[in-house]
Structure 1
């Protein structure tokens, strides 16, 4: 009797490989989702810092503007090219300025994005 050496993989080997690939891909997808969420939050922090910079410029140009200043008015006056939209949460950026114009913060709903 001649013993032929089999070429190829058995069904059990194929199932093991597919299972391992499934586990690896599910771990990668979970990590990818966390990276995306982190990027959205960082984009919101950056947008908030840009809003504060624009508000500071507007206050330096006209100190009487403090009470009427908002993100929308910053766009209308040319300090922002567009009104930023939060990426990590729903709502819109809200500018909170102290009476003297020195303390500026940016919130979305109740979450503060600036200062960090």
Structure 2
């Protein structure tokens, strides 16, 4: 009398298929993560631009005769007291530049950004 051998476990083909499916799911998740990460970086950058612009306006209210603003002068007007850095995926800009236009408007460079084609670009087209 022969005993039947029970096949327990998976065949090599089944294991390869499962590993391939897992690899595909991981690659999809990684792409979504990178897009989400870039969108979060853009949101943080835009928030920093708005904070610096508000700080510049407050500085000009306290110093109405000033025609230019040093970014270091804005520290007392920022809650944390730290000058933020531009988004790291934006390009060459390593610091923000604050300027005052002729009509007294505060301009921050680099300005607001958006995500376009998996990269950050300034909204004004630069």
- Which runs of 5 or more structure 2 residues have no equivalent in the other structure? 114-122
What's the counterpart of residue 79 of structure 1?
77
Tell me, in whole angstroms, the C-alpha distance in 1 between the residues paired with 2:48 and 2:35.
20
Aligned ranges for residues 49-64 of structure 1 at < 5 Å?
A: 49-64=50-65
- Which runs of 5 or more structure 1 residues have no equivalent in the other structure? none
User: 1:106 Cα deviation (Å)?
Assistant: 1.3
Instruction: Confirm or deny: 8 A CA contact 1:105 1:113 kept in the other structure.
Output: no
1:105 aligns with 2:107: yes
- Structure with the bigger percentage of helix: 1
Tell me, in whole angstroms, the C-alpha distance in 1 between the residues paired with 2:77 and 2:102.
20
User: 1:2 Cα deviation (Å)?
Assistant: 4.5
Alpha-carbon RMSD: 1.9
- TM-score relative to the length of structure 1: 0.81
User: How many residues of Structure 1 are paired with residues of Structure 2 in the alignment?
Assistant: 108
